[in-house]
């Protein structure tokens, strides 16, 4: 690998205090400019892993480096690494309510730049650009708490984009979005990827997977990493998808004959984001 590693995780383990493991011996590396999916069933550890990558939680065992430096609690809190890391990595939470806390959308977008002591005029200009980019100029004066789920998601992403992070951690970014908003978000992510931003996206949406990532890290329900492979290979590995409960076997009876076949969301469209329930595509 010639690209510099953004993250290197070596045998990461993590448990919430008083609970069993949420991640058990997970190892992988992510290079600059990659589009990687964290794939796994509910509770497999995707969100937990994103919190570790964002330096919000720290491993109980194993090591994690970011931009070639150990990502420890002490370092994340100390300049120059800490502020540089925070400015470089943006985390779109699964629940937007957890990251929107200002009185208006405009203040939400200004928050991080003000911490970084940007001049007011520059903040205003960048706010105009980012709101226009995400088609939410009309939301500028609104209270984030009063917005719809999809609107909140866009505002949260807009706030992250203000400081032009080079890495985005996205936790189920398409969940709860209508088809048009999903398409818009995917276009945005494509553009960010094309401009060199590294994307790490947690999802269990197999239909959107090829639009979100080129490579998938698959977590089992035992919180171990069971695959690290191109998205296309993972989508064709029915045994793996069954084993980690991302598809389920559907049994039904025709007369005396019981048919058993896996169900999943089909990946079929070049541009569409249809999610008809169907069978794994063959190719």
Ligand X SMILES: Nc1ncnc2c1ncn2[C@@H]1O[C@H](COP(=O)(O)OP(=O)(O)OP(=O)(O)O)[C@@H](O)[C@H]1O
Would you count residue 40 as binding ligand X (CB under 6 A)? yes
Per-residue burial over 107-128, b if 16 or more Cβ lie within 10 Å, else e, is: bbbbbbbeeeebeeeebeebbe
User: Is 220 one of the binding residues for Mg ion (CB under 5 A)?
Assistant: no
Q: Given the rule CB under 6 A, which of 40-48, 114-122, 176-184, 186-194 is the region that contacts ligand X?
A: 40-48
Name which position in 22, 44, 47, 203 contacts Mg ion (CB under 5 A): 47
Could you tell which of Mg ion, ligand X, none binds residue 42, using a CB distance below 5 to 8 A set by kind?
ligand X
Look-up of token digits 């984009």:
161
When binding is defined by CB under 6 A, the residue of 47, 127, 181, 198 that contacts ligand X is 47
Q: Please report how close the Cβ of residue 136 comes to ligand X at its closest, in angstroms.
A: 25
Asked if 201 interacts with Mg ion (CB under 5 A), we say: no
Q: Please pick, from the candidates 34, 48, 96, 127, the single residue that binds ligand X as defined by CB under 6 A.
A: 48
Instruction: Establish if 113 lies at the interface with ligand X (CB under 6 A).
Output: no
Task: Report cis status (omega within 30 of 0) of the bond before 80.
Answer: yes
Listed in order, strand segments (DSSP E) in 67-208 are: 69-70, 89-92, 167-171, 198-203
DSSP state of 161: H
Ranked by CB distance to Mg ion, the top (closest) residue is 47
Paired with 265 in beta bridges are 277
Instruction: Single out the segment in contact with Mg ion by CB under 5 A; choices: 2-10, 44-52, 107-115, 193-201.
Output: 44-52
CB of 42 to Mg ion, least distance (A): 7
Pick out residues in 67-96 that bind Mg ion (CB under 5 A).
Answer: 94
Written as six digits, the tokens of 22 are 């949420």
d(CA 124, CA 110): 8
Q: Note whether 96 and 103 are within 8 A (CB).
A: no
Rule CB under 5 A: which residues touch Mg ion?
Answer: 46-47, 94
């Amino acid at each position: 690998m010639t690209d510099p590693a953004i993250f290197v995780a070596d045998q990461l383990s993590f448990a919430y205090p008083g609970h069993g493991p949420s991640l058990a011996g997970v190892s992988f590396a992510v290079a600059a400019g990659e589009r990687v999916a964290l794939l796994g069933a509910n509770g497999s550890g995707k969100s937990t892993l994103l919190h570790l990558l964002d330096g919000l939680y720290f491993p109980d065992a194993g090591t994690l480096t970011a931009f070639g430096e150990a990502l420890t609690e002490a370092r994340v809190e100390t300049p120059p690494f800490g502020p540089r890391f925070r400015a470089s990595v943006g985390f779109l939470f699964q629940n937007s309510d957890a990251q929107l806390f200002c009185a208006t959308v405009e203040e939400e977008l200004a928050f991080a730049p003000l911490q970084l002591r940007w001049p007011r005029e520059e903040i205003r200009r960048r706010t105009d650009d980012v709101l226009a980019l995400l088609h939410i100029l009309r939301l500028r004066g609104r209270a984030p708490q009063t917005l719809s789920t999809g609107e909140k998601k866009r505002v949260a992403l807009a706030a992250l984009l203000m400081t032009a992070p080079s890495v985005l951690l996205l936790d189920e970014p398409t969940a709860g979005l209508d088809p048009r908003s999903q398409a818009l978000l995917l276009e945005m992510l494509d553009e960010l990827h094309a401009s060199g931003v590294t994307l790490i996206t947690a999802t269990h949406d197999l239909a959107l997977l090829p639009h979100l990532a080129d490579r998938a890290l698959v977590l089992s329900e035992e919180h171990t990493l069971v695959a690290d492979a191109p998205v296309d290979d993972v989508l064709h590995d029915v045994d793996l998808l069954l084993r980690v409960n991302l598809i389920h076997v559907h049994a039904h009876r025709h007369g005396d004959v019981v048919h058993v076949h896996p169900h999943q969301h089909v990946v079929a469209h070049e541009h569409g984001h249809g999610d008809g329930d169907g069978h794994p595509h063959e190719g």
